[in-house]
């Protein structure tokens, strides 16, 4: 008996090399036992060792031909969870040597089984593409997107490039019982899976993330090639979902099909943003009246009122925040609470008169969860940002400022129409359409949340420096006028 030990459940190259050597050494399928390194071997008697095989030089085909069709079938079928798949595929290799048309014999039990396995794998891949929902963990520069998925087959590695392509601009991790896949914007890396018994609920995702975070950025991590090419051909929307998936769907932070799907790395105005260069006939006052009854997303239900932008119609600078907070929701005015006070102080230090700027938010209703007497702020998700974006577009078209300042990640996502990292883009002028410039900086509440006093002072100074870029532009455009 020959024992072949593969490096992993998805070790197609190892299987192919071994199958070639076995076939060329005339070793019958019934004389081979396949196993995977690290798996428990249920064997009776002394442990078996792999007998070295003479590996003939050359391609897989060696002295016999295996069609590209078979290789494609085997590459998918090998991802099936059935432990007999390695033996089945080798049996096919063995039989293909003398029966070249074997794959066309759809009623042949081996062929039928391999095709069924490949189909099940594809089905599972599509299911993963459709059902994975990311939840944002952390805020601002430290945002990371997490999802939990429980695949039926060993598909995570093969499906990860799809997510790398779809969500190229956001760092994400997909946690599964087999293996966890992580994307840092450059490459997909894999770490060990999380036991099903420890499957995180929606609320535990963050905790699980903290625990696994260190290992993900370990240089010893396994890197896999991630040149994403696959696009979903169809979605499996109505498959029964595990409870964790249901919870994640209920709290969707972003989904396939959302505006972030084709996000590039460099920010620029989203092409779909239809802002006419012709003079807008809409004044801020008419827009405010219309927005008062906005029902474009469910946030209006719990909020007190729409908090629309405020400032002079002829403002040269438009400041964009995230969403109204508790104080703003009650008062009906943007940036009047603690973040507003921080903003006022920074504007003053930068030499900008708040009365001369237009101040608004990406999302115009307060999103919160009640905790006793307190209403706890909740970050708006992508569908909510998208639903509210037409108001920003119409405000922009009405005001026609020289400069838009996006404060924080939500504002940047609104202004550029896609997820835009703050650190990479902050502090420099970026062109939007129609000669309008954009400036990305942090949100004033980020400064309020910093626990360390030194960091607070340092970050506040950086925020003021960013606003000074806006002040400079304002001075230059006043001189030019
Ligand atoms: N934070 C914001 O983003 N906007 C406000 O109006 C208040 C706090």
Pocket of ligand 1 contains residue 380 by CB under 6 Å:
no
Q: Residue 404's closest CA among 178, 412, 18?
A: 412
Q: Residue 295's closest CA among 390, 217, 222?
A: 390
pLDDT band at 286 (very low <50, low <70, confident <90, very high): very high
Q: Give the ligand 1 atom nearest the CA of 362.
A: 3
The answer to whether the CB of 448 falls within 8 A of the CB of 377 is no
Share above pLDDT 90 across residues of the chain, in percent, rounded to a whole number:
57
Pairing of strands 179-183, 429-431: unpaired
CA distance 322 to 67: 56
Q: Which of 443, 447, 448 to mutate to test the pocket of ligand 1 (most atoms within 8 A of CB)?
A: 443
Pocket of ligand 1 contains residue 329 by CB under 6 Å:
no
Q: How far is the CA of 291 from the centre of ligand 1 (A)?
A: 17
Q: Is 85 left (phi over 0), alpha (psi -120 to 50) or beta?
A: alpha
Q: Which of 299, 303, 308, 324 to mutate to test the pocket of ligand 1 (most atoms within 8 A of CB)?
A: 324
Q: Give the ligand 1 atom nearest the CA of 328.
A: 6
Per residue, what are the HEC states of the chain?
Answer: CEEEEECCCCCHHHHHHHHHHHHHCCCCHHHEEEEECCCCCCCCCCCCCCCCCCCCCCCCCCCCCCCHHHHHHHHHHCCCCCCCHHHHHHHHHHHHCCCCCHHHCCCCHHHHHHHHHHHHHHHHHHHHHHHCCEEEECCHHHCEEEEECCCCCCCHHHHHHHHHHHCCCCCEEEECCCEEEEECCCCEEEEECCCHHHCCCCCCHHHHHHHHHHHHCCCCCEEECCCCCCCCCCCCCCCCCCHHHHHHHHCCCECCCCHHHHCCCCCCCCCCCCCCCCCCCCCHHHHHHHHCCCCCCHHHHCCCCCCCCECCCCCCEEEEECCCCHHHHHHCCCCCCHHHHHHHHHHHHHCCCHHHCEEEECCCCCCEEEECCEEEECCCCHHHHHHHHHHHHHHHHHHCCCEEEEECHHHHHHHHCCCCCHHHHECCEEECHHHCEEEEECCHHHHHHCCCHHHHHHHHHHHHHHHHHHHHHHHHHHHHC
The answer to whether the CB of 317 falls within 8 A of the CB of 403 is yes
The residue-averaged pLDDT of 194-210 equals 66
CA distance 131 to 163: 12
Reported residue count of the chain is 481
Pocket of ligand 1 contains residue 339 by CB under 6 Å:
yes
Distance from the first to the final alpha carbon of the chain: 88
pLDDT band at 15 (very low <50, low <70, confident <90, very high): very high
The residue-averaged pLDDT of 150-161 equals 95
The answer to whether the CB of 201 falls within 8 A of the CB of 149 is no
Q: What is the pLDDT of residue 56?
A: 56
In the chain, where the domains are located: 2-126, 132-198, 216-257, 279-480
Query: Any idea which of 7-21, 127-141, 240-254, 311-325 has the lowest mean pLDDT?
Result: 240-254
pLDDT band at 474 (very low <50, low <70, confident <90, very high): confident
CA distance 400 to 404: 9
Query: Does position 249 have pLDDT exceeding 50, yes or no?
Result: no
Pocket of ligand 1 contains residue 363 by CB under 6 Å:
no
Pocket of ligand 1 contains residue 321 by CB under 6 Å:
yes
The answer to whether the CB of 332 falls within 8 A of the CB of 383 is no
pLDDT tens across 330-384, in order?
999 999 999 999 999 999 999 999 999 999 999 999 999 888 888 989 999 998 9
Q: pTM of the predicted model, to two decimals?
A: 0.50
Contacts with 60 (C-beta within 8 Å, 6 or more apart), sequence order: 16, 19, 20, 66, 71
pLDDT band at 140 (very low <50, low <70, confident <90, very high): low
Pocket of ligand 1 contains residue 425 by CB under 6 Å:
no
Query: Any idea which of 94-98, 181-185, 194-198 has the lowest mean pLDDT?
Result: 194-198
Q: What is the pLDDT of residue 183?
A: 86
The position carrying tokens 């309008």 is 436
The answer to whether the CB of 315 falls within 8 A of the CB of 413 is no
Pocket of ligand 1 contains residue 29 by CB under 6 Å:
no
pLDDT tens across 415-457, in order?
999 999 999 999 899 999 889 999 999 999 999 999 889 999 9
Q: How far is the CA of 430 from the centre of ligand 1 (A)?
A: 23
pLDDT band at 19 (very low <50, low <70, confident <90, very high): very high
Query: Does position 117 have pLDDT exceeding 90, yes or no?
Result: yes
Pocket of ligand 1 contains residue 410 by CB under 6 Å:
no
Distances (CA, A) of 105 to 100, 102, 129, 436: 10, 5, 32, 64
Q: Give the ligand 1 atom nearest the CA of 334.
A: 6
The answer to whether the CB of 392 falls within 8 A of the CB of 364 is no
Q: How far is the CA of 321 from the centre of ligand 1 (A)?
A: 5
Query: Any idea which of 131-140, 221-230, 437-446 has the lowest mean pLDDT?
Result: 221-230
Distances (CA, A) of 81 to 30, 64, 391: 21, 29, 49
Query: Does position 241 have pLDDT exceeding 50, yes or no?
Result: no
Pocket of ligand 1 contains residue 360 by CB under 6 Å:
no
Q: Residue 157's closest CA among 85, 230, 213?
A: 230
Pocket of ligand 1 contains residue 324 by CB under 6 Å:
yes
pLDDT band at 64 (very low <50, low <70, confident <90, very high): low
* Ranges 128-137, 236-245, 409-418, most confident: 409-418
As a CATH number, domain 279-480 is 3.40.470.10
Pocket of ligand 1 contains residue 325 by CB under 6 Å:
yes
Q: Give the ligand 1 atom nearest the CA of 443.
A: 3
Q: How far is the CA of 339 from the centre of ligand 1 (A)?
A: 6
pLDDT band at 237 (very low <50, low <70, confident <90, very high): very low
Q: How far is the CA of 326 from the centre of ligand 1 (A)?
A: 9
Pocket of ligand 1 contains residue 337 by CB under 6 Å:
yes
Q: Which two tokens stand for residue 354?
A: 């708040």
Q: Which of 332, 340, 366 to mutate to test the pocket of ligand 1 (most atoms within 8 A of CB)?
A: 340
Rg of the chain over all Cα atoms, to the nearest angstrom: 28
Give me the residues paired with residue 135 across strands: 146
Buried-exposed string 96-107: b where 16+ CB fall within 10 A, e elsewhere: beeeeebbeeee
Pocket of ligand 1 contains residue 323 by CB under 6 Å:
yes
Q: How far is the CA of 433 from the centre of ligand 1 (A)?
A: 25
The position carrying tokens 């000074």 is 468
Distances (CA, A) of 320 to 99, 149, 391, 396: 68, 35, 12, 10
Q: How far is the CA of 388 from the centre of ligand 1 (A)?
A: 15
Pocket of ligand 1 contains residue 124 by CB under 6 Å:
no
Q: What's the distance, CA 357 to chain centroid?
A: 34
The answer to whether the CB of 117 falls within 8 A of the CB of 77 is yes
Q: Which of 307, 309, 322 to mutate to test the pocket of ligand 1 (most atoms within 8 A of CB)?
A: 322
Q: How far is the CA of 325 from the centre of ligand 1 (A)?
A: 5
């Amino acid at each position: 008996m020959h024992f072949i030990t593969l490096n992993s459940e998805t070790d197609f190259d190892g299987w192919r090399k071994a199958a070639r050597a076995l076939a060329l050494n005339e070793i019958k399928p019934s004389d081979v036992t396949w196993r995977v390194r690290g798996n428990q071997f249920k064997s009776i008697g002394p442990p078996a060792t792999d007998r070295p095989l003479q590996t003939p030089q050359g391609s897989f085909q060696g002295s016999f031909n295996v069609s590209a069709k078979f290789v494609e079938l085997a590459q998918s079928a090998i991802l099936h969870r059935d432990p007999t798949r390695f033996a089945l595929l080798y049996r096919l290799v063995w039989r293909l040597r003398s029966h070249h048309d074997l794959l066309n014999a759809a009623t042949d039990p081996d062929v039928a089984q391999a095709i069924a396995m490949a189909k099940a794998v594809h089905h599972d891949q599509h299911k993963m593409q459709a059902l994975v929902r990311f939840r944002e963990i952390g805020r601002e520069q430290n945002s990371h997107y997490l999802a939990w998925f429980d695949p039926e087959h060993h598909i995570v590695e093969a499906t990860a490039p799809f997510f790398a392509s779809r969500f190229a601009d956001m760092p994400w991790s997909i946690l599964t019982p087999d293996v966890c896949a992580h994307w840092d914007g450059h490459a997909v890396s894999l770490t060990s899976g999380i036991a099903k018994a420890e499957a995180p609920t929606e609320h535990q995702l963050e905790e699980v993330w903290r625990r696994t975070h260190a290992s993900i950025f370990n240089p010893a991590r396994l890197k896999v090639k991630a040149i994403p090419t696959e696009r979903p051909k169809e979605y499996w929307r109505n498959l029964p979902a595990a409870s964790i998936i249901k919870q994640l769907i209920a709290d969707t932070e972003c989904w396939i099909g959302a505006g972030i799907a084709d996000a590039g790395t460099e920010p620029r105005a989203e092409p779909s943003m239809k802002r006419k260069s012709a003079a807008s006939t809409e004044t801020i006052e008419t827009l405010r009246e219309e927005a008062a009854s906005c029902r474009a997303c469910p946030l209006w239900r719990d909020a007190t009122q729409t908090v629309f932008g405020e400032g002079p119609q002829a403002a040269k600078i438009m400041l964009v925040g995230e969403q109204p907070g508790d104080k703003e929701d009650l008062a009906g005015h943007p940036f009047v609470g603690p973040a507003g006070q921080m903003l006022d102080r920074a504007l003053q230090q930068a030499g900008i008169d708040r009365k001369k700027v237009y101040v608004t938010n990406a999302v115009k209703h307060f999103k919160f969860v009640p905790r006793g007497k307190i209403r706890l702020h909740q970050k708006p998700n992508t569908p909510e940002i998208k639903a509210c974006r037409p108001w920003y577009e119409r405000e922009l078209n009405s005001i026609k400022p020289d400069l838009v300042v996006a404060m924080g990640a939500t504002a940047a996502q609104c202004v550029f129409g896609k997820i835009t990292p703050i650190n990479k883009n902050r502090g420099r002028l970026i062109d939007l359409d129609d000669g309008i410039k954009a400036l990305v900086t942090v949100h004033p509440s980020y400064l309020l949340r910093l626990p360390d006093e030194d960091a607070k002072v340092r970050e506040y100074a950086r925020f003021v420096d960013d606003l000074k870029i806006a002040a400079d532009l304002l001075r230059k455009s006043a001189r030019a006028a």
